[in-house]
Every structure is written in C-alpha cells, then in structure tokens.
Amino acid sequence: MGTIVYNFIHTYSLAIGLIQIGLLLSSLITIAAGLILSAHIGMDRMFGFGLKYPKDFKDTHLNRV
C-alpha cells in the first residue's frame, strides 16, 4: 500500500493537475502546492530516489537506495 501512495504522489501528473486546478480557480495556494510538489519530485529524482517497486521499498526505477 505504501508504494502505491508514494508513487501516486510522486508523479508529475498530480503536480500538473494541481497547477491546472489552481489556474482554473485562480487559487494561488493550489498553484504554489503544485509547484512545490513538482520541485520536490525533481529533487527526489536528482538525488536518485525514483518511483518504488512493490517488491521492496528500496528498489526504485532509477536504482537501489
């Protein structure tokens, strides 16, 4: 269950969706949340933390943490 939640939150589609909703609703907080999430995902990828495989939480699509 943890990998499903982690992978759902750490995809750019969620961040882009938040930004789009924020733009449609003119909500600066929602836009900021989407941008922060996008930066967080990018930083995770930069440090080698990728999407998790279900067999072991330390196995990612980039490498083994």
Secondary structure, 3-state, the chain:
CHHHHHHHHCCHHHHHHHHHHHHHHCCHHHHHHHHHHHHHHHHHHHCCCCCEECCEEEEECCCEC
Confidence of residue 40 (pLDDT cuts 50, 70, 90): very high
Question: Residue 63's pLDDT is what?
Answer: 66
**pTM score of the predicted model:** 0.78
- Looking at residue 30, its pLDDT comes to 98
pLDDT digits (tens, 9 = 90+) for 48-65: 777 777 777 677 766 665
